[in-house]
Every structure is written in C-alpha cells, then in structure tokens.
Amino acid sequence: MAISVYDWQGNLQTLDWLKAKYGNLLLKEAGEGLAYRITTLRETVDTAATLVVRVVDAAGVPIENQLVAFYWPDAPEDSNAGPQDGVLPQMAPNRAVNGPTNANGDVGFGMGRGAYYWPQNDQIGPHATWVYGTGHRSDVILGLGMIGETNHDHYNVEFTLSDSGTPPPPVEPPTELPKEEILAQLKKIEKAVKALRKLVKDA
C-alpha cells in the first residue's frame, strides 16, 4: 500500500522529500493478508515532543483502544510486544512500551533528549512503532525521532487495518451521454430563460 506524506502545512509531498529532510527510515512490511499498514506520515514542527500514532480501519474510521508499541533500543522487555512477523533485523526484539488509542484513534508517546538525531550526519531516529501484540500483523517503521537543534520537529505515523488480498472494486466503464436528449433539454432551458428575461424586462 502506498504511503502518503504531508508536510506541516498539509501539502502532499513524496517519501523522497521526507527522507531528504528527516533522514532515512527503515520499513518492514507485514506482507499479504489482513494487517495494520502504514498509510500516512505527517510532518509536525515547533510542537510537543510527542510522537502521535493513529490507527484507523479500511474506511478511515478511528479504532479505539488499540494498543500501539513504541520502541527504542533499551526499552523495557516485553515478550508480547510483537508484531506477529517480528521486527527489523536492526532492532532488539521484544522491547517496547505500549499505549491504547483514544476515540480519535490516536495515542501519543513522549520523546526525551535521546530522540534527537542529526540527519545531515546520516543519523536516523532511535524510535520505532507498530501495532502492538504477537497476535497482530503490522508494518514496522524505524528511524523516528526529532531533528537536532529544532523545536521537536518530527513526523507522525498513521496505520490502516486493511487486507492486501482484497481486490479493489471494479471500475465501471463510462457510459455514453445521451447527446440528443441533453440538447433537447438545453433548448427547453434556453427557452425558459428567454421567457423569464422578457418578464423581468417588461415588469
């Protein structure tokens, strides 16, 4: 599934634009079938030191009380952290804290001084996130954090629960417009407009 990227002003950007500004990111895709997939990355600048993760269903409806994992290399050990298909090889498995999403599908994780990194020095952020639990299949993104010497500039992550095996709905072929009928209706409208103009003029 393609990932949409938005800058802090809400403008659609590319993943290459994001990497040029925030450094590389590492992504482990969940693979085929029903899974939580990263669909949106949203930049936020001059903001709180909080990574916000959002989880929605395939229709875009927020999923409440869904546990989300937040990782850094020496996070607490958790044998149930997941996800089902494991984390990236650059990461220590079974390490994360977690938090539930609210009614808007959001959960926030505070980032400390250790979250700062310098993309210009080919560094990436120390944090990762995914939908929590060994029973869940989820994308994993590593490289999250805040750009050094900024007011907590970073980007947030949105997951969508979707089934990659479900084909998109068929596109209906365009139907030909009934040209003669449309022209006939236009003549009637033009006639009615002329009559109204005459009434207004004579009034």
pLDDT of residue 174: 46
pLDDT at residue 176 in the model: 52
pLDDT value of position 189:
77
Query: What is the pLDDT at residue 172?
Result: 45
φ and ψ of 171, to 5 deg: -85, 120
Residue keyed to tokens 């003549």:
187
Residue pLDDT, tens place only, 92-146: 999 999 999 999 999 999 999 999 999 999 999 999 999 999 999 999 999 999 9
pLDDT at residue 180 greater than cutoff 50:
yes
pLDDT at 63: 97
Q: pLDDT band at 187, cuts 50/70/90?
A: confident
Whether pLDDT at 169 is above 50: no
* Percentage of the chain lying above the pLDDT 90 cut: 78
Model pLDDT for residues 57-90, shown as the tens digit of each residue: 999 999 999 999 999 999 999 999 999 999 999 9
Q: What is the structure's pLDDT at 167?
A: 46
Whether 168 shows a pLDDT value over 50: the answer reads no
| CATH architecture of residue range(s) 4-163 | Sandwich (2.60)
Distance of alpha carbon 83 from alpha carbon 77, whole angstroms: 14
Residues 6+ apart with CB under 8 A from 13: 5, 6, 7, 43
Question: What single DSSP character describes residue 132?
Answer: -
The domain limits of the chain are: 4-163
User: How far is Cα of residue 68 from the mean position of the Cα atoms in its chain?
Assistant: 14
Mean pLDDT score, 13-32:
95
3-state SS assignment for residue 9: coil
Query: What mean pLDDT is predicted for residues 39-63?
Result: 97
Q: Closest Cα partner for 142 from 51, 20, 59?
A: 51
The separation between the first and the last C-alpha atoms of the chain, rounded to the nearest angstrom, is 63
Q: What global pTM score does this model have?
A: 0.79
